[in-house]
Amino acid sequence: MNSPPVSCSGEPGRTGALRIEGADFPWWLAVTATGAVVVAAIIAASGTYQQVFAIVTKGIGVTVFVSLVAYALACAIGLLVALMALSGSLILRQAARFYVEIIRGIPILVLLFWIAFAGVPVLVIALNWVAAPLRGAGLVDDLMVRDVSLLSRAVLALTIGYSAFIAEIFRAGIQSVDPGQTDAARSLGLTRLQCFRLVIFPQAIRIILPPLGNDFVAMVKDSSLVSVLGVADITQMGKLYAAGTFRFFETYSIVAYVYLLLTLGLSLALRGLEHRLRKKGRR
């Protein structure tokens, strides 16, 4: 007689994987929170660290703005590209695949430089050419490259760069939903748009949310790249202060600390939202 299967936990009759999530006390969070409190105490006790912290935190607003706007636009474009990739049109599918593969093959920093110093000038020339009749009638003026702020160029570059990755997340999440759900919805008389909005997407979002959250955290970190264009975000403020005072250790320690506060807080919030959606889906 064969013995009953034994799981990793040592209990007979169970072959599932270990249920780690929800079983362990979050010691990592306790250690991290303790470290954050200790660093905060050091900042409060040191005039130098207080000065650095005050300078660096002036860039939080720009970092949050760039991250939120670029991510929202990237999600919108990514969803559109994902729907194109899943459409019945060969042209749309190939166009979506072309966009995803080309954009994913370019490093974000290189894309940032290309959009800022090559793409935007070409776009300005194209817009001026299209608006030539209006300009001749005196309705509009010439658009100059300098009229497009470096902040806008940075947001555009991050939007394009992340939209390709987010498109693949949406595509995989939508395809994970059982096709029978679509057939059942269509048999009830729902249109394709209603089927997607009411049946497919609510189920897919529970699968999509964790990787989307990871990309949002990555966006917050990659927003530091806009400092190469002189945009006054957290990294740029720290860079300017360090260059003027040569206090590189203090400055970049505070920069890292501020980014950790932002990303860890965001990660915990996203994990809580994911947990709520999972509980809601089990009801």
| Domain map (residue ranges) of the chain | 47-282
pLDDT at residue 254 in the model:
94
The CATH number assigned to the domain with range 47-282 reads 1.10.3720.10
> What's residue 23's pLDDT?
57
267 Rama class: left (phi>0) / alpha (psi -120 to 50) / beta? alpha
Distance CA 227, CA 214 (A): 22
What pLDDT sits at residue 204?
87
The predicted pLDDT at position 274 comes to 78
Query: Structure tokens of 252?
Result: 């970049």
Chunk the chain into consecutive blocks of 10 residues (it has 283) and report each block's average pLDDT, rounded to whole numbers: 48 48 74 91 91 93 95 96 92 96 95 94 87 75 84 95 95 87 80 83 86 93 93 94 93 95 90 77 64
CB 219 within 8 A of CB 162: yes
User: What is the structure's pLDDT at 283?
Assistant: 63
- pLDDT value of position 281: 63
pTM check: above 0.85: no
Residue 119's pLDDT is what?
92
Residue linked to tokens 């264009």: 229
Return d(Cα 162, Cα 111) in angstroms, integer. Answer: 11
Instruction: Give the angle 47-52-54 at the CA atoms, nearest 5°.
Output: 95
Residue 4: CB atoms within 10 A of its CB come to 10
In this structure, are residues 251 and 66 in contact, taking their beta carbons and an 8 Å threshold? Answer: no
- pLDDT tens digits for range 151-192: 999 999 999 999 999 999 999 998 888 888 877 877 887 887
Residue 18: predicted pLDDT: 47
Find, among 46, 68, 14, the residue nearest to 216 by Cα: 68
Q: Which residue has the tokens 């658009």?
A: 143
The token pair at 6 is 């034994």
